[in-house]
C-alpha cells in the first residue's frame, strides 16, 4: 500500500528532526464508521496532548533555532550550514 509506506516515511522524517513519529498515524475507516473515527481521533488527540507541545517551537509559538538535544546549526560564509 503506497499510503502506508508514505506515512511510515513521514514518521521517520519526524523522528529525524526531533519530533515523535507517533504524532502521525494512519487509520482506515469507512464513511459508515463515524463513531470509530471520532473515538480514534479523540485517542490520538489525547496521546499528542500527553507528548506536550512541539519541541521545535518556543513557548510563544516561534521557531526554536536550537534542535532538541543539540546545538544550533552554525551559519558559515556562503549561507551554508554545518
Q: Confirm whether 4 is domain-assigned.
A: yes
Q: Confirm whether 73 is domain-assigned.
A: no
Q: Is the pLDDT higher at 78 or at 18?
A: 18
Range of the domain at 20: 1-27
CA-CA-CA-CA torsion sign (5, 6, 11, 15):
positive
**Structural domains in the chain (count):** 1
Closest CA relative to residue 68, chosen from 77, 53, 56: 56
Whole-structure pTM over 0.75, yes or no? no
Residues above pLDDT 90, as percent of the chain: 39
Q: Confirm whether 20 is domain-assigned.
A: yes
Q: What is the structure's pLDDT at 57?
A: 78
Amino acid at each position: 500500500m503506497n499510503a502506508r509506506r508514505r506515512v511510515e516515511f513521514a514518521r521517520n522524517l519526524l523522528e529525524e528532526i526531533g519530533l515523535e513519529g507517533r504524532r502521525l498515524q494512519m487509520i482506515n475507516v469507512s464513511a459508515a464508521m463515524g463513531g470509530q473515527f471520532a473515538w480514534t481521533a479523540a485517542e490520538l488527540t489525547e496521546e499528542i496532548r500527553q507528548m506536550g507541545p512541539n519541541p521545535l517551537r518556543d513557548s510563544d509559538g516561534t521557531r526554536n533555532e536550537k534542535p532538541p538535544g543539540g546545538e544550533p546549526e552554525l551559519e558559515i560564509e556562503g549561507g551554508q550550514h554545518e
